[in-house]
Amino acid sequence: MRPKTRYARSGDVSIAYQAFGKGPPDLVYIPGYVSHVEYAWEHPRFAGQLERLAGFARVLFLDKRGTGMSDRVASPTLEERMDDVRAVMDDVGSERAFLYGISEGGPMALLFAATYPQRTAGIVLYGTFARWRWAPDYPDGMRYDAAELEVFFDQMERSYPDWNAILAPGAEGDDRFNDWFLTYLRMAASPRSATDTLRHVIDLDVRQTLSAIHVPVLVLHRTGDDFIPVEHGRYLAAHVEGARLVELPGDDHLFLYGDVDALIDEIEEFVTGRAADREVDRILATVLFTDIVASTQRAAELGDRQWRELLTQHQAVVRDELRRYGGREVKTTGDGFLVTFDGPARAVRCAVSIRKRLRAEGIEVRSGLHCGECELVGDDIAGMAVHLAARVCAEAGAGEVLVSSTVRDLVVGSDLDFDDRGAHVLKGVPGEWRLYTVANQTEN
């Protein structure tokens, strides 16, 4: 049963919200720049996240004024949005709650905690900031002058709601999710309203409130987030007394993509004081990513019909080689594949064979491999090993089969030879990783 949408009165404005889950404690879910509390439940990624939160807290999920099912108003202030949170809490009789501030919802959560500590049990911050723009004493902020900002806002308004690639690069190729997310954004706000919210976000600065926050704070941030870089999260953790920073691997700013279970595990432990008791299926696997080189350029050169024919040919060859070497296709993005193997040598040989056959067809691919523990999520896989293999593939050149040092070490004694490509810093992955390219042409 999906929860019923209710309305709380905040002054003369109606705030849409839902209350569901097993409290206490109470957790106020403060979304980012736009939201829609009812359409959120239409995709299993969002519904699953809400259900997990409801397993350990009573969740108060609201549409901030100006978005979703709440009253449309122009340019709401942080003070007004704080009033909206209080109105929702009052409407359900919640005296004290944890605040979960996501992206643009973070500054308001911080201000609320400083202003109403007696009503704040703690704060969870995800992918957020105290200030977004550059300043002499804030060098990690976005550095745009007034003219560049207008170009930025114009581009964002013209492209709305097609912001998927910016907010969730990991969703590339997931047509079902992308179609849902486009509709979610359309229902949440108009192009002008969404862009006006961004204008408001650009000018926020709550740094002066940080020293006044005396409740527990958990700061969660993905290390490869380009929309709001991890330096913003590090600043918050350094300037809020007692705050704990957890840096999560991944590139996605949108909380619905990446290793979502790891994110919710951290929230559950923070809110309840106990680690998540979650059944997880994990396996050791060699992960292979493949990708057609310069696919966008090639598609433009060939035209739609010939490009579709090339993709069909590419997929047939790859799947034939996967059957030959015992690879399990996890998913395809059309011009690339995510595959797992139970042996690293077979995975490397498969990648080399794919390269040889596709090159004969005039298709150049690159491949990246890593071996590590993967989490089974239905028919999908997740975890650091998957993310690392994707990053290795991104470092590969045209026609190159590139592997991590883990793969190279595990195939010692085989007839596979490698050339050292040196140490690399991989986006969203801690530390340096030594990478190797397959040197010989073993393809049988």
Quick one: pLDDT at residue 442? Answer: 45
Q: Is the pLDDT of residue 194 over 80?
A: yes
Per residue in 282-318, pLDDT (tens digit) is 777 899 999 999 888 888 888 988 988 999 999 999 9
Residue 40: both structure tokens together:
């959120």
Q: Is residue 39 part of a domain?
A: yes
Is residue 265 one of the residues assigned to a domain?
A: yes
pLDDT at 277: 57
Degrees, nearest 5: CA angle 279-247-333:
70
Is residue 428 a part of any domain in this protein?
Answer: yes
pTM of the predicted model over 0.75 = no
Q: How far apart are CA 307 and CA 282, in angstroms?
A: 37
What are 367-395's pLDDT values in tens digits?
999 998 888 877 788 888 898 999 999 99
* Domain membership flag for residue 32: yes
Do 359 and 430 reside in the same domain of the chain? yes
Q: Is the pLDDT of residue 275 over 70?
A: no
Q: Which of 197, 37, 209, 4 is nearest to 123 (CA)?
A: 209
CATH number, residue 196: 3.40.50.1820
Domain identity same for 117 and 208: yes
Would you state the structure tokens that stand for residue 212, as one six-digit string?
């006044």
Q: What percentage of the chain reaches a pLDDT higher than 90? A: 56
Domain span including residue 180: 6-272
pLDDT bucket at 444, cuts 50 / 70 / 90 = very low
3-class DSSP assignment, residue 247: strand
Among candidate residues 272, 298, 317, the one where a domain is terminated: 272
**In this predicted model, what pLDDT tens digit does every residue of 77-124 receive, in sequence order?**
888 888 999 999 999 999 999 999 999 999 999 999 998 999 999 999
Instruction: Please give the Cα distance from 3 to 213 (Å, whole number).
Output: 32
Identify whether the C-beta of residue 321 lies closer than 8 Å to the C-beta of residue 353. yes
Band (pLDDT 50/70/90 cuts) for residue 280 is: low
Tally of domains within the chain? 2
Tell me the average pLDDT of the chain.
89
β-pairing, 401-404 vs 217-222, is unpaired
The answer to the question of residue 444 being in a domain is: no
Do 72 and 131 lie in a common domain?
yes
Q: Is the dihedral of CA 168, 97, 129, 13 positive or negative?
A: positive
Q: Does the pLDDT of residue 146 top 60, yes or no?
A: yes
Q: Which pLDDT value is given to residue 443?
A: 45
C-alpha to C-alpha distance for 218 and 271, rounded to whole angstroms: 10
Q: Does residue 49 share a domain with residue 104?
A: yes
Omega within 30 of 0 (cis) for the link into 161: yes
pLDDT band at 261 (very low <50, low <70, confident <90, very high): confident
Four-point Cα dihedral 161, 83, 129, 126, nearest 10: -70
- Which residues make Cβ contacts (< 8 Å) with residue 43, sequence separation at least 6? 176, 177, 180, 181, 184, 256
Task: Examine the domain organization and report whether 80 and 158 are in the same domain.
Answer: yes
Tell me, yes or no, whether 167 and 117 share the same domain.
yes
